[in-house]
């Protein structure tokens, strides 16, 4: 039995979801060399595929992260060659589908909202729940903006033990929690350093709060002073230290 590429969904300017006829093997997610985007017209350059991501609960699908935005109102082809399935079959040469991105909608001429300056200062980002990007009720990708976006970014930094494409990212709390006795105090300095790596943060202090009810848990409260803010914003990170 041969695995076939059956569908493609454009989920975002940098996200494509491919569907296959068979269950995908783990190898389908370990290399981006299986997947190639090609531009079919003069609408825009073809972005490279930067990551192949597992789609939770959908073993026949792979989500591709692109290195650059897909141009709007342009035609592309996505090839998926030698993608392995669990039955040991692979997609044959020439496995490809074409798609066209949408035309940008004209926006009405209206006043910017009063809090737009906060979005400009603290940015707008997609909402990630730890396993996948969150969708809205109408199927679009959810976003977070303003101060809430900066706070979420600080929390991710402090909780992260590195990323596959950026191993140095994050405070790497596990190395302290799993380290020698007393190393947990060093984590305080690591959290400060990592928080200050976010260019939206002007200053930072960290308080350690022990939990008498659950002694195996320690809460680190990061008091990050964001640029343009009048007071520090507390961001809590709870770790199991026992």
Query: For 120-152, how does the pLDDT look when each residue is reduced to its tens digit (9 = 90+)?
Result: 677 778 877 666 778 887 777 888 887 788 888
Is residue 88 left, alpha or beta, with left meaning phi > 0 and alpha meaning psi from -120 to 50? Answer: left
- Please give the angle made by the CA atoms of 178, 237 and 173, to the nearest 5 degrees: 25
Give the residue-averaged pLDDT of 76-90: 95
Give 48's contacts (C-beta < 8 A, 6+ positions apart): 32, 37, 66, 67, 68
What spatial distance separates the first Cα and last Cα of the chain, rounded to whole Å?
Answer: 50
For strand 217-226 and strand 35-39, is the pairing parallel, antiparallel, or unpaired? Answer: unpaired
pLDDT at residue 110 greater than cutoff 60: no
Domains (ranges, CATH) in the chain?
5-100 (2.60.40.1220), 116-240 (3.10.450.40)
pLDDT mean across residues, the chain: 83
Torsion of CA 5, 6, 11, 17, to 10 degrees: -40
Burial 230-239 (b: 16+ CB within 10 A, else e): eebbebebeb
| Average pLDDT score over residue span 21-48 | 92
Report helix, strand or coil for 191: helix
The sign of the CA dihedral 55, 160, 153, 169 is negative
pLDDT recorded at residue 104: 65
Q: Is the per-residue pLDDT at 114 higher than 60? A: no
- pLDDT cut 90: percent of the chain above it: 34
pLDDT digits (tens, 9 = 90+) for 154-208: 888 888 888 888 888 888 888 877 666 667 778 888 888 898 998 888 888 888 8
């Amino acid at each position: 039995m041969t695995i076939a590429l059956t569908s493609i969904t454009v989920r975002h300017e940098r996200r494509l979801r491919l569907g296959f006829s068979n269950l995908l093997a783990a190898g389908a997610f370990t290399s981006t060399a299986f997947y190639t985007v090609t531009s079919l017209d003069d609408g825009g350059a073809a972005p490279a595929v930067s990551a192949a991501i597992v789609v939770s609960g959908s073993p026949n699908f792979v989500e591709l992260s692109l290195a650059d935005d897909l141009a709007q109102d342009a035609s592309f082809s996505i090839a998926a060659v030698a993608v392995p399935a669990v039955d040991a079959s692979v997609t044959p040469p020439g496995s490809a589908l074409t798609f066209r991105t949408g035309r940008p909608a004209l926006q009405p001429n209206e006043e910017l909202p009063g809090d737009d300056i906060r979005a400009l200062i603290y940015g707008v980002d997609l909402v990630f729940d730890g396993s996948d990007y969150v969708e809205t009720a109408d199927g679009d990708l959810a976003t977070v903006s303003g101060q809430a976006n900066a706070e979420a970014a600080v929390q991710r930094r402090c909780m992260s033990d590195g990323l596959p494409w950026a191993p140095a990212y994050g405070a790497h709390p596990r190395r302290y929690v799993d380290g020698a006795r007393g190393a947990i105090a060093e984590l305080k300095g690591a959290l400060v350093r990592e928080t200050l790596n976010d260019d939206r943060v002007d200053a930072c202090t960290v308080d350690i709060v022990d939990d008498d009810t659950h002694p195996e848990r320690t809460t680190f409260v990061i008091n990050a002073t964001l640029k343009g803010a009048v007071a520090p914003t507390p961001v809590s990170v709870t770790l199991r230290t026992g």
